[in-house]
Structure 1
Amino acid sequence: MSINAPAIYYEAANKILTGLGAPVTASNLNLLVAWMGLENGWNSSLSCHNPFNTTWKLNGSKTVNAKGVQCYPDWATGVQATINTLTQQSPSYATLVNALKNGDPNQFFSEAGRQELSVWSGGTPGYASTIHQIYTELGTPPASAMQSALATNSITQDLANFFNLKEFPLNNVKTVKQALGLAVIAGVVLALIWAGGDDLGL
């Protein structure tokens, strides 16, 4: 049986992965969407812009329950709050974040990863196992969830080649052309992220 998650879940996952510096792959998208599904069910509109029910407070957020879960005014705020929570030092979710950066579901569901998921849930029994089950039942992410990442990778690589940049050598810029190239690429990436954020209100 394949679960078809709402498109908004994939759009949110795309933004969070991008903010974490993790690759936007089908596997990574489904890891986050499975996690969202357990937190919110499949009928949620995610109107509070808080797909993981984090309690991280930011300007404009409001507490919505006794556990301190926040409701954010827009996606930019909600995505940032989620990233802040995942990358904080205590409690640490370093295993989960590194698993996403490595594109490694096995690392995500390792003993250390499962422990971090348990901490996130407040110790809910079977929390990690339920996410894993949902993950195995999710279908292929919609093409739209991948498009912005693919477009960014393609365009920036073409520009890098044009400006004689190899793997973005920020500490090894030797020519005016390379410096100009980095500036152009940064502008293009920001423009693509801005344009791709329209559906999420970014």
Structure 2
Amino acid sequence: MKIPVSAIRLPTRPGREYASRFDREQSLLKMLTIPIASVILASMVTSLPIFSAGPLLPPFGLLMFLSWRLMRPGLLPIWSGVPFGLMDDLFSGQPFGSAGLLWSLAMLIVEIIDSRAIWRDYLQDWLIAALLIAAVLLGGWWIAGLAHAAPNPMVLLPQITLSILLYPLVVRICARLDSWRLAT
């Protein structure tokens, strides 16, 4: 027995066939947890078992944190550098509190730049992120050097360079997460 094509109906939810996608509310849980979870998961990448003679793996948590802050200025509060930095310290092996301090200072610097700048474009954001990445990594090297003898700071040059070059990729990932976060 042959079933006519017109008799086959695809299951649809009632009232959704012609429902408008405008004026819907986004999920508050999704809007709040995606930035937080992405920074924490990016910080966890440093705990992967990757072996090298010197520091090479970029601080993905810092890159994601700066990406969210520079892309969406009002999303993260000023004090958010402390908990995110402390979470990063747990996974990176730096002295506890060093990233909390340095990420907070980075957040304050971005706030000062935002309050004084009329507008920013992508290249200026990349320059701001590059300077902050270098400053945070050198600051972490200095703080770690207070506890024990630190090597020459030139050891950090490949890590700083790789971090600056990977920043646009992290911004792209952050933009994709942001579009998913704002989708209904």
Higher Rg of the two aligned structures: 2
In terms of fraction of residues, the more helix-rich structure is 2
Pick 1 or 2: higher relative contact order, CA cutoff 8 A, min separation 6.
2
TM over 0.5: no
Q: If the length of structure 2 is used for normalisation, what is the TM-score? A: 0.31
TM-score (norm 1): 0.29
